[in-house]
Structure 1
Amino acid sequence: MPDVVVVGAGVIGAACAEALSAAGVDVTVIDRGTPAGGTTASGEGNVLVSDKEPGPELTLAIASRREFGVVLARLPEQVADVEWEAKGGLVVAKGEPEPLEKFAKTQREAGVDARVISPADAFELEPLLTRAVTTAVYYPDDAQVQPVLLATALLAAVRARGGEVRAGVTAIAVRQKDGRVTGVETEAGVIECDAVVNACGPWAGSFGTAAGGPIEILPRRGMILVTAPLPECVRHKVYDADYVGAVGSGDADLQTSTVVESTRAGTVLIGSSRERIGFDDAVKVHVLRELARKAVGIFPFLADVPVMRTYGGFRPYAPDHLPVIGPDPRVPGLWHATGHEGAGIGLAPATGRLLTELFIGVPPHLDPSPFRVDRPAVVGVS
């Protein structure tokens, strides 16, 4: 019998399972689909400290950036190549430079390496950048990873330590006795355990309800364009200053902001969009057109580059823009790890570490209270 069943084999569930198993906890991971086949597969692989205002999420991001080295070193050798690239990020503005410079200053005060550079320096970093740029901030700690490779490698580490990963197993409810979790009910039967981790991403709200611990997690749709393979053309993660505002917005309407980056395969990823439209997965041509238009505004050469494909997915959105990490006080033995929206790849290592620290009862490496389950925005109490 496992100690813990993690429901959800995306990057957050995989990171929690890996950290728990590294601490000696017996873990089983289940997913109704294939591992890393949901939200994780629709991500860009962003590991960013540059897009977050000072506060709890930035603190988690800084900790997670440090934790990546620890986690990657624990991976089995045969799956250790997750296309990790510490390429750095470049945020550019084409208007008044003061807002971007002010934002960078507040981040530096919070411990981020944020370097305001001149347009000439920006063009040296990215020669194909539009000459309309008026100011830029360079973030050497921004990085990129292949999200599916990362999640599957984390799960491979769980298996290597004796844990189990089961695909195609749908969790239905949590079984309790004397007020504590005793197992998780699935379509394939009951898996007995002492604790259950709800890592269901944008579906965490519905599973939380089924488990007796409802939480307010909503899906937020995002779309990405993928170009045909190209010679080296975009060297860093490059995005416009509007990206920060879009990340932190709670507006349900469509928002787009430019983020452009290359992959090891030579393709260029173009994002990003955010829209709260439930689980509507229809391809919206007007969204793709807007992404392309804005990307050309940053990198004019993209106007002549063919788009090979597009993909999108649903990201787990919490109304106060903070992840939910920790025990559910209403159901002893039920834990949650969700609500990271589009930042789950970058926040996964610190999330796994924090949940594990709380689970085994050691002092956490950062203050867990901002991410607690029983906060008003998540459980709807005042």
Structure 2
Amino acid sequence: MPVLLLRKHPDAVVVGAGVVGAACAEALTRRGLRVTVLDRAPVASGTTARGEGNLLVSDKRPGPELALAQASLRRWPRLLAELAAELGPRLADCEYEPKGGLVVATTDAEAAALRTLAAAQRAAGVDARPVAAPAVLEPHLTPEARGAVHYPEDAQLQPVLVATALLAAVTARGGAIRTGVEALGVRHGRRGRVTAVTTSAGPLPCGSVVNACGPWAGSFAAAAGAPLPVSPRRGLILVTAPLPPGTVRHKVYDAGYVGAVGSGAAGLRTSTVVEATRAGTVLIGSSRERVGFDATVRVEVLRVLARRATALFPVLREVPALRAYGGFRPYTPDHLPVIGEDPRRPGLWHATGHEGAGIGLAAATGELLAELRTGQTPHLDPAPFRADRPALFTEEARCSV
């Protein structure tokens, strides 16, 4: 097979042109590394194109993922400002909205659990404000609400736009984006260190490779000789016709959402998530189920989502649904992403396993990976995200994938 021709071999090849891969590539090129991004499909056409664009701390319990989310929420506004200065405001417009989130309890038991969670989050530095009258923040909210917590730090952006902007910065710095090229595995030297990526267009020599393949990261890791228990978890979203501005003002979800996110069950889990886009449409979620790469859009799941959303926002009962779409999220058994070099295959780096939080966590993920790759002091503890952490390789973990 022919060798992919480049003027110089890249210091790093990032496999995956979604938002996490784009964030890694941007952070690496900002530190002066030569980077090539490979994807078998168009830019941001996989999981990134099927996300809601959430930047959240509200749905995370205290621990490593919350710390990563807090770092990412701090980083996103600065990163977007840097992109605007470098690329111009038009290319860097990612529809960023610091709209805040509102978590709503509809039973007394949920309200008590929500207060407990919010107290723990506040102890970890999250701005979590109990709300006695949630209708003041969301006038169309059901009067059945028994309690709510407002999270001013939650935000939203358009995921395809932000991935495109990050990759535009990569190319502006001399990096390369190659779509329609599938990464098949790696070549390595006598001591196991990566020396090249094997691709559908031939081998590409490089100094390192970053596995940012999202739900397909487990397959690429296995092909590279360092298996990871990353598997797809399917989710569906309903999109309504445009509504007047202010109909839904925040990202609003019910108190059961946190439990659904943290569940490891393979079967269907649903919770209510409602939020508006800049175009006026309303996104309704969310569902989670592990069914492999079965892309079937199940009408019965959409019915559950619609029923729960209209219970939370009765105003939606007369609003038509325009479309529905689904996607696959990269699931790990311990619900933590994998970020860093794989000790089993030196030169192979991972940035995957974020499940439904990849867009929000991408900014800090890219920074952390680039810091580790270039020998800088990491801005947060990388140990919980290691590729060789025991929680990924227990018998229970193997059975859950």
Residue aligning to 2:107? 95
Dislocated runs of 4+, deviation >4 Å: 379-382
CA distance in 2, matches of 1:70, 1:29: 23
Aligned 8 A contact 1:216 1:377 in 2: no
Aligned 8 A contact 1:217 1:378 in 2: no
Residue aligning to 1:281? 295
Residue by residue over 1:182-226, the C-alpha shift from the partner in whole angstroms, topping out at 9 and shown as x without a partner, is 110101111110100000000000000001111000100000000
Residue by residue over 1:329-368, the C-alpha shift from the partner in whole angstroms, topping out at 9 and shown as x without a partner, is 0111000000000000000000000000100001100000
Q: TM-score, normalised by structure 1?
A: 0.98
Which one of 279, 296, 316 corresponds to residue 302 of structure 1? Answer: 316
Alignment of 1:229 onto 2:242: yes
Residue aligning to 2:174? 162
CA distance in 2, matches of 1:108, 1:342: 23
Aligned 8 A contact 1:373 1:379 in 2: no
Q: SS of 1:130's equivalent? A: coil
Residue by residue over 1:11-35, the C-alpha shift from the partner in whole angstroms, topping out at 9 and shown as x without a partner, is 1000000001111111000001011
Residue aligning to 1:180? 193
CA distance in 2, matches of 1:371, 1:53: 16
CA distance in 1, matches of 2:296, 2:390: 32
Aligned 8 A contact 1:209 1:215 in 2: yes
Residue by residue over 1:94-133, the C-alpha shift from the partner in whole angstroms, topping out at 9 and shown as x without a partner, is 1112111111000000000000010x2x111110000000
Identity %: 67
Which one of 77, 80, 91 corresponds to residue 92 of structure 2? Answer: 80
Residue aligning to 1:23? 31
Question: Counterpart amino acid of 1:210?
Answer: A
Q: Give the RMSD, CA atoms, in angstroms.
A: 1.0
Which one of 279, 282, 288 corresponds to residue 268 of structure 1? Answer: 282
Alignment of 1:107 onto 2:115: no
Q: SS of 2:284's equivalent? A: strand
Q: TM-score, normalised by structure 2?
A: 0.93
Aligned 8 A contact 1:318 1:377 in 2: no
Alignment of 1:202 onto 2:215: yes
Question: Counterpart amino acid of 1:216?
Answer: P
Residue aligning to 1:128? 140
Which one of 137, 140, 149 corresponds to residue 152 of structure 2? Answer: 140
Deviation at 1:73, TM superposition (A): 1.9
CA distance in 2, matches of 1:250, 1:332: 30
CA distance in 1, matches of 2:49, 2:260: 21
Q: SS of 1:14's equivalent? A: helix
Residue by residue over 1:288-341, the C-alpha shift from the partner in whole angstroms, topping out at 9 and shown as x without a partner, is 000000001100011110000000000000000000000000111000000000
Residue aligning to 2:253? 239
CA distance in 2, matches of 1:249, 1:52: 12
Deviation at 1:68, TM superposition (A): 0.5
Q: List alignment gaps of at least 5 residues for structure 1.
A: none
Deviation at 1:379, TM superposition (A): 4.3
Residue aligning to 2:6? none
Question: Counterpart amino acid of 2:381?
Answer: D
Residue aligning to 1:33? 41
Q: Which moved more, 1:74-83 or 1:372-381?
A: 372-381
Q: SS of 2:272's equivalent? A: strand
Question: Counterpart amino acid of 2:40?
Answer: R
Residue by residue over 1:250-290, the C-alpha shift from the partner in whole angstroms, topping out at 9 and shown as x without a partner, is 01110000010000111000000000011111110110000
Residue aligning to 1:189? 202
Alignment of 1:44 onto 2:57: no
Residue by residue over 1:28-52, the C-alpha shift from the partner in whole angstroms, topping out at 9 and shown as x without a partner, is 0000101100000010000000000
Residue aligning to 1:2? 10
Residue by residue over 1:54-113, the C-alpha shift from the partner in whole angstroms, topping out at 9 and shown as x without a partner, is 000000000000011221122121411000000000000111121111110000000000
CA distance in 1, matches of 2:185, 2:393: 19
Which one of 362, 376, 384 corresponds to residue 348 of structure 1? Answer: 362
Residue aligning to 2:183? 171
Question: Counterpart amino acid of 1:376?
Answer: P
Which one of 245, 253, 261 corresponds to residue 267 of structure 2? Answer: 253
Q: SS of 1:137's equivalent? A: strand
Residue by residue over 1:131-172, the C-alpha shift from the partner in whole angstroms, topping out at 9 and shown as x without a partner, is 000111000000000000011111111001110011110001
Deviation at 1:377, TM superposition (A): 3.1
Which one of 219, 226, 235 corresponds to residue 232 of structure 2? Answer: 219
Residue aligning to 2:74? 66
CA distance in 1, matches of 2:232, 2:112: 34
Aligned 8 A contact 1:88 1:143 in 2: yes
Aligned 8 A contact 1:222 1:275 in 2: yes
Aligned 8 A contact 1:216 1:380 in 2: no
Aligned 8 A contact 1:205 1:215 in 2: yes
Q: List alignment gaps of at least 5 residues for structure 2.
A: 1-8
